[in-house]
């Protein structure tokens, strides 16, 4: 059941995410053509402001999902109702807190916006962004219940479906009216409808939620939740600092033009991450269920498989980015927007080192180990800022990216696996570093072979790009296959895939009969 749910989650999420990326790209073209660049700036600014206000959530989302794993696994309806009643009150409080903070911020918009754009109704526009954000908080707890019950495909289906409808309607509105207010109102209305329908779906899946008898959460359970939330607060703040400082430092130290160059590469990285991240997030609930009902040895065996898949996915993506980044930018925007190979190499290395953490983070979160490394993000953020500022003075944008790499390798690289192995698996973390070295070495060798082959394909032109893309598809995957086809992790994946195909074939036969 866990495997089937995970595969279903991954399949639906992949389709939905790819559709979202294509629609986002198309709608952005219309947005830029129908509205001026100042609207695009306002959109980015208000989105970032509200992401900062979302810190009021303090990590309750992760705490909710972790708290639901065990009662869902043992079908403890009384405990689930108590948790849901508690979470509904918490999220109402969070929603009103974000609303209050947004209203307090409203008079200071002129301070935040250095050069006020020639856009009318700026305060109203901010309030519409705020309303769209606040709406989600009043329904988030039921969404979390569905995700924790390994049914993330349901949430993704609603989210992707409504995103497609909203995007199409917004494009039509921009083409016909060029009215930004209507553009935002459509998003709010459909966001409200999506959340209401998803809430009703949760009531259908879990009819006991409609019982008028309000179960109360035990004091010990509340203390455990708030302990996890306190730990997650550090993670949320640290994440915002680390993720949000590179562009600020590039702008203030190197120059705003370089932010534009870097953003083109970040856009591609973001598109890849949005797909891959959803894959790992889709299996988190299944891992949580696994840790509740299975032994530590079984959990560790599945972790090794996920770590292997983690390596293969991000190794292949990193090699492809290294080979194809600049040829793609040249075809897309022109050679004037291409950055030098040292900067591209650092972008790819940071992508790989961050991506390789996915499997470890999935299991760490599923084990609920939020408290054990609560100071890690603070240390990472501090090292990142200090190293990036110092190195930027000597190496520009490359120095900032190198600072990010240094902060990762001196903190999260060893702290996260140490916490998981020590507190989750009860094993020596040496196993992790041995596997990391083996997988990193394989990725480096495959990158060298692919780069050597790509050097014979020419530097520019669509034919050269297609040939290099084909090499990226064949060479790394063939190299990984030859290197690891005897590994237990690879055999497990193949057995799992064969089992899924057999079940599908059997289901078709039964259906035809």
Give the pLDDT confidence score for residue 509 in this predicted structure: 47
Q: Is the separation of the CB atoms in 19 and 167 below 8 Å?
A: no
Give the pLDDT confidence score for residue 97 in this predicted structure: 85
Question: Which 3-state string (H, E, C) describes 405-458?
Answer: HHHHHHHHHHHHHHHHHHHHHCCCCHHHHHHHHHHHHHHHHHHHHHHHHHCCCC
Closest CA to 243 of 32, 17, 55: 55
Give the pLDDT confidence score for residue 283 in this predicted structure: 60
Q: Over 60: is that where the pLDDT of 193 sits?
A: yes
What residues does each domain of the chain span? 1-217, 231-513
Q: What is the widest separation between alpha-carbon atoms in the chain?
A: 72
Closest CA to 298 of 363, 370, 357, 355: 363
Mean pLDDT, rounded, for 291-317: 82
Q: Is the separation of the CB atoms in 186 and 164 below 8 Å?
A: no
Q: Is the separation of the CB atoms in 107 and 138 below 8 Å?
A: no
Q: Over 80: is that where the pLDDT of 117 sits?
A: no
Place of tokens 């952005």: 28
The whole-angstrom separation of Cα 291 and Cα 298 is 9
Q: Is the separation of the CB atoms in 316 and 476 below 8 Å?
A: yes
pTM of the predicted structure, to 2 decimals: 0.69
Q: 343-384, pLDDT tens digit by residue?
A: 999 999 999 999 999 889 888 877 777 777 878 888 888 898
More confident residue, 443 or 294: 443
> Which range among 380-384, 417-421, 424-428, 496-500 shows the weakest confidence by mean pLDDT?
496-500
């Amino acid at each position: 059941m866990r495997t089937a749910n995970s595969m279903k989650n991954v399949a639906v999420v992949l389709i939905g995410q790819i559709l979202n990326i294509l629609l986002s790209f198309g709608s952005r073209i219309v947005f830029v053509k129908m509205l001026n660049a100042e609207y695009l700036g306002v959109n980015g600014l208000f989105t970032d402001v509200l992401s900062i206000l979302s810190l009021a959530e303090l990590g309750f989302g992760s705490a909710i999902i972790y708290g639901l794993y065990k009662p869902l696994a043992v079908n403890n309806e009384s405990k689930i109702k108590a948790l849901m009643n508690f979470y509904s009150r918490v999220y109402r409080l969070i929603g009103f807190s974000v609303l209050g903070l947004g209203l307090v911020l409203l008079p200071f918009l002129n301070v935040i916006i250095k050069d006020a754009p020639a856009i009318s109704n700026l305060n109203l526009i901010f309030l519409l962004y705020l309303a769209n954000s606040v709406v989600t908080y009043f329904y988030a707890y039921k969404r979390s219940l569905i995700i924790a019950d390994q049914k993330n495909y349901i949430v993704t289906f609603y989210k992707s479906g409504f995103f497609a409808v909203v995007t199409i309607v917004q494009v039509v509105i921009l083409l016909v009216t060029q009215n930004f207010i209507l553009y935002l109102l459509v998003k709010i209305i459909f966001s409200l409808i999506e959340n209401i329908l998803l809430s009703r779906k949760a009531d259908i899946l879990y009819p006991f939620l409609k019982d008028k008898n309000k179960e109360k959460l035990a004091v010990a359970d509340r203390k455990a939740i708030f302990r996890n939330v306190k730990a997650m607060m550090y993670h949320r703040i640290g994440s915002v600092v680390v993720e949000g400082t590179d562009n600020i430092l590039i702008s203030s130290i190197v120059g705003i033009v370089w932010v534009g160059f870097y953003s083109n590469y970040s856009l591609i990285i973001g598109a890849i991450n949005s797909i891959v991240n959803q894959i790992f997030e889709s299996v988190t609930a299944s891992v949580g269920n696994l840790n509740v009902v299975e032994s530590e040895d079984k959990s560790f065996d599945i972790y090794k498989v996920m770590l292997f898949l983690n390596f293969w996915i991000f190794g292949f993506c990193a090699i492809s980015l290294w080979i194809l980044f600049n040829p793609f930018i040249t075809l897309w925007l022109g050679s004037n927007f291409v950055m030098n190979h040292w900067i591209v190499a650092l972008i790819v290395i940071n992508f790989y080192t961050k991506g390789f953490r996915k499997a470890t983070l999935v299991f760490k979160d599923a084990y609920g180990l939020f408290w054990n490394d609560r100071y890690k993000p603070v240390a990472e953020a501090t090292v990142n800022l200090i190293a990036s500022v110092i190195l930027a003075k000597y190496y520009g944008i490359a120095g900032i990216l190198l600072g990010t790499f240094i902060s990762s390798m001196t903190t999260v690289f060893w702290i996260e696996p140490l916490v998981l192995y020590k507190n989750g698996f009860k094993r020596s973390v040496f196993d992790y570093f041995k596997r990391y070295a083996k997988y990193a070495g394989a990725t480096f060798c495959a990158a060298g072979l692919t780069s050597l082959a790509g050097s014979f394909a020419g530097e520019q032109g669509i034919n050269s790009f297609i040939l290099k893309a084909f090499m990226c598809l064949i060479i790394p995957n063939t190299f990984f296959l030859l290197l690891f086809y005897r590994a237990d992790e690879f055999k497990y994946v193949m057995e799992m895939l064969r089992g899924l195909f057999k079940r599908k074939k059997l289901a078709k036969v039964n259906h035809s009969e």
